[in-house]
Amino acid sequence: MALTKNKAVLSWIDEMVAMTKPDQIVWIDGSEEQLAQLRKQAVDEGILHELNQEKLPGCYLHRTDVNDVARVEDRTFICCEKEEDAGPTNHWMDPKEMYAKIRTMCDGAYKGRTCYIIPYSMGPVGSPFAKYGFELTDSIYVVLNMNIMTRIGVKVCEALGDDAGFIKGLHCQLNLDKDGKYIVHFPQDNTIVSLNSNYGGNVLQGKKCFALRIASNLGRQEGWMAEHMLILGIENPKGEIRYLSAAFPSACGKTNLAMLIPPEGYTSKGWKVWCVGDDIAWLRVGEDGRLYAVNPEYGFFGVAPGTSMKSNPNALISTQKNTIFTNVALDTSDNTVWWEGMNKTPPAHAIDWKGNEWTPDMGTKAAHPNSRFTAPAKNCPCLSSEFENPQGVPISAIVFGGRRAKTAPLVYQSRSWDHGVFVGSIMASETTAAAAGAVGVVRRDPMAMLPFCGYHMADYWQHWLDMGKKIGKQPKIFNVNWFRTDDEGHFIWPGFGDNMRVLEWIMKRAFDEIDAVDTPIGYQPKAEDINLEGLDLDLDTLKGLLGVDKELWKEEAKGIREYYAKFGDKVPAELLKELDTLEANLQ
């Protein structure tokens, strides 16, 4: 029986059902009883493998199709009316043409299958930040993952009531055709369609599709921001908690930073870090003029390889119950999971992510490098008590960062909000040897939103500038780089928990508690103001890490100008002015 009487919801579902022609329709009510039955069914059908329930209670393993292991950016479309509104960084197709294609591809797509209807909320149900959606799917895996990543069920329908402002989502697995994948967004009618995939980032629509691509459009219209940012709180020895949000491209340690454990010299004095979110932040101006952030998600969809008790104990502990693992290895000795970087001793025998027998001498990876855990946020030992706060947390600092071998210093602060927007717009990472292609190539990823901004990137920068004018008490904006290397290519800064030393300076700056040095690129710490106690790194090395090489930055400025040229005359004048200032400062 339908869980809502909302006419707009029901008529859209009727339309989808007429097109996809399912054998059965099941509304997901969010009850433990229904979820338990679906888990059992998934195990019986071989969709999930039940792991050792003593060691990993409520945990399951899933393997995707071998050609369905990551987000597919080249198959991701923003179908707004005009191509120029999608901008040069998005793929675009005419909405009429795309709808016609979808109608053909989805005609009878659910024949012989069940259509699961998932009512879900991004943000705490009832929060002024929250937005509601429905995802129709023929995948039990999606239902069970959505239950971890979002708030689902009857309560969502009740909170929506008769409102027509919901997000419509259709997911059809079809035959997982590797060349037929489509991840499509229609911002003008808040609709998402995912075809031929069953990989999380493509089909758990609440995450990238809704909370970033569609929500970035909603935020622009409604005056708020949807960002690819972690949110964390830093508690000082006085018990005050100050919050920051931070954007980094993939493979820069966002989940690790979000769950950071400060070094011993800090913890012994009472410093703590609280995680509010590890991937997405929705930001609004509060009545007091401050910027407030909510994590719209309910769980973590983290990369498993490299997660260990050393690198990120909080993440590993989060995965020890009620978690779905995808494409990790199965340790056959005790029916648990393993991945590269979990510990030093691989299992003597495992089943790899493709489902094949595996032994360490084979020289292949047991877990896919993008294998994932879907873990409830509630499992995280350092989850902030404000996680469910419907109003969100007040943000005092915004941090951008990338992976740069030489150019970007360990940390610098922008001179103003507009300069901070410039700093975000020029974010970049250098490709590493780990990825195919040339090493050291700069890939620009403004605000870490390159694959997630649902409209023209230059309009998005303008939105940032406009938001700055609405925020009475603007957070200070910073840039960090944990990845400077020495001449042999070794990282100089220890990273992980020691990043706390930089965050401490950032927060002091955000509260005007410490001086800084003015440099051509912005404000920087005096080396002695970064706490090095207990760290095997001397002041001169730190000075090197903070150094700004003018020649490299002149090259950088050239690269930025070339990058901006891609966006034509849409680049906001404020950003061009900041670029002029940077160039002048470097002379």
- Residues taking part in catalysis: 252
Which of Mn ion, ligand OXD, none does residue 369 bind (CB under 5 to 8 Å by kind)?
none
Please, which residue, 279 or 498, has the CB nearer to Mn ion? 279
Are the CB atoms for 202 and 181 separated by under 8 Å?
yes
Are the CB atoms for 334 and 52 separated by under 8 Å?
yes
Residues 223-252 that bind ligand OXD (CB under 6 A): 250
Distance from C-alpha of 183 to C-alpha of 192, rounded to nearest angstrom: 8
- Compose the 422-441 pattern: x for residues touching ligand OXD by CB under 6 A, - for all others: --------------------
CB of 236 to ligand OXD, least distance (A): 29
CB of 78 to ligand OXD, least distance (A): 17
Which of ligand OXD, Mn ion, none does residue 338 bind (CB under 5 to 8 Å by kind)?
none
CB of 57 to ligand OXD, least distance (A): 25
Residue 201 interacts with ligand OXD (CB under 6 A): yes or no = yes
Distance from C-alpha of 283 to C-alpha of 296, rounded to nearest angstrom: 10
The continuous run of DSSP H or E covering 194 comes out as strand 191-195
Distance from C-alpha of 390 to C-alpha of 96, rounded to nearest angstrom: 38
Residue 391 interacts with ligand OXD (CB under 6 A): yes or no = no
Tell me the one-letter amino acid at 174: L
Q: Give the binding-site size for ligand OXD (rule: CB under 6 A).
A: 5
Which of Mn ion, ligand OXD, none does residue 71 bind (CB under 5 to 8 Å by kind)?
ligand OXD
Residue 556 interacts with ligand OXD (CB under 6 A): yes or no = no
Which of ligand OXD, Mn ion, none does residue 519 bind (CB under 5 to 8 Å by kind)?
none
Are the CB atoms for 373 and 319 separated by under 8 Å?
yes
CB of 192 to ligand OXD, least distance (A): 16
Please, which residue, 72 or 136, has the CB nearer to Mn ion? 72
Residue 279 interacts with ligand OXD (CB under 6 A): yes or no = yes
Output b/e per residue, 110-137; b: 16+ Cβ within 10 A. Answer: beebbbbbbbbbbbbbebebbbbbbbbb
Residue 71 interacts with ligand OXD (CB under 6 A): yes or no = yes
CB of 54 to ligand OXD, least distance (A): 30
324-326 and 60-62 as β-strands: parallel, antiparallel, unpaired? parallel
Which of Mn ion, ligand OXD, none does residue 201 bind (CB under 5 to 8 Å by kind)?
ligand OXD
Of 245, 294, 243, 308, residue with least CA distance to 273: 243
CB of 179 to ligand OXD, least distance (A): 21
- Compose the 298-317 pattern: x for residues touching ligand OXD by CB under 6 A, - for all others: ---x----------------
Distance from C-alpha of 327 to C-alpha of 41, rounded to nearest angstrom: 20
C-alpha gyration radius of the chain = 24
- Name the residue with the smallest CB distance to Mn ion: 279
Please, which residue, 279 or 445, has the CB nearer to Mn ion? 279
Task: Name the site residues for Mn ion (rule: CB under 5 A).
Answer: 279
Which of Mn ion, ligand OXD, none does residue 431 bind (CB under 5 to 8 Å by kind)?
none
Please, which residue, 232 or 510, has the CB nearer to ligand OXD? 232
CB of 254 to ligand OXD, least distance (A): 8
Of 12, 380, 368, residue with least CA distance to 230: 380
Are the CB atoms for 155 and 168 separated by under 8 Å?
no
Are the CB atoms for 518 and 412 separated by under 8 Å?
no
Please, which residue, 208 or 415, has the CB nearer to ligand OXD? 208
Please, which residue, 71 or 290, has the CB nearer to ligand OXD? 71
How far, rounded to the nearest angstrom, does the alpha carbon of residue 380 sit from its chain's CA centroid?
17
Within 8 A by CB and 6+ apart from 149, the residues are 204, 206, 207, 297, 298, 299, 301, 374
Please, which residue, 278 or 331, has the CB nearer to ligand OXD? 278
76-78 and 182-186 as β-strands: parallel, antiparallel, unpaired? parallel
Residues at the contact surface with ligand OXD, assessed by CB under 6 A: 71, 201, 250, 279, 301
